[in-house]
Chains A and B, each alone.
Chain A
Amino acid sequence: MKKILPVEELARDSRFVRVQIQETMLDPRQAKVAERNTGSAKLEPARPAAPDRARQLMHGIFMGELQALEGAGRTTFDFDDEDVPFQLKLDMARQSWDESRHCEISVKLAEHMGTEIGEFSEATFLYEAACAEDALLRLTGVNRALEGLAIDVFNTMKEFGDSSGDPVLAACEDWMLADEVTHVKMGSDWLRRLTENDPERRELALEFQRTVDKLFSLGGFRGETDENPIQLARKFRQMAGFSTDEIDELSDVTAEAQAEAEAMASAEQQAS
Chain B
Amino acid sequence: MARVEVIPEQFTLVQYDAGVIAGIIEELASKVGLPDDVPVRIEIDEELPLPLTGSTADIVDGRAELWFSGANFEDGRHRAVFNDELARTDLALALFRAGDRLQGFTDAPADEELTDAQRAAWEAYAEGRVARLGEFTRKVRRQYVFRLYNGFTDVADDAFERLWTADRFTWSELDALCAACKTADPRPEPKQKSAIRKETLRAQS
Chain A residues with CB under 8 Å of chain B are 17, 19, 23-24, 27-30, 32-33, 36-39, 45-53, 55-56, 111-115, 118-121, 164-168
Contact = CB atoms under 8 A, between A and B. Distances in A.
Interface stretch (B29-37, B91-99, B164-172, B190-198): B190-198
A167 B49 contact: no
Contact of B138 (A24, A45, A114, A165): A114
B39 interface: no
Given A23-B79, A36-B198, A111 B140 contact: yes
14 contacts: A29-B14, A37-B204, A38-B194, A45-B149, A47-B193, A47-B194, A48-B194, A51-B145, A52-B71, A113-B144, A114-B138, A115-B141, A119-B76, A164-B187
Given A52-B53, A114-B143, A165-B151, A29 B47 contact: yes
B138, B139, B143, B145: most-surrounded residue (chain A CB, <10 A)? B145
Contacts of B70: 29
Interface string B171-205: 00000000000000111001111111010010011
A119 B77 contact: yes
A119 B51 CA distance: 12
B25 interface: no
A113 B192 CA distance: 22
Given A38-B196, A48-B196, A166-B152, A120 B201 contact: no
A48 B45 CA distance: 15
Contact of B190 (A27, A37, A46, A55): A46
Given A33-B47, A114-B145, 9 more contacts: A27-B79, A28-B13, A29-B49, A47-B194, A55-B141, A114-B138, A121-B76, A121-B77, A165-B151
Contacts of B69: 49
A52 B51 contact: yes
Interface in B70-97: 70-71, 76-80
B101 interface: no
Contacts of B149: 45
Contact of A50 (B46, B142, B193): B193
A253 B8 CA distance: 40
B85 to A, nearest CB: 12
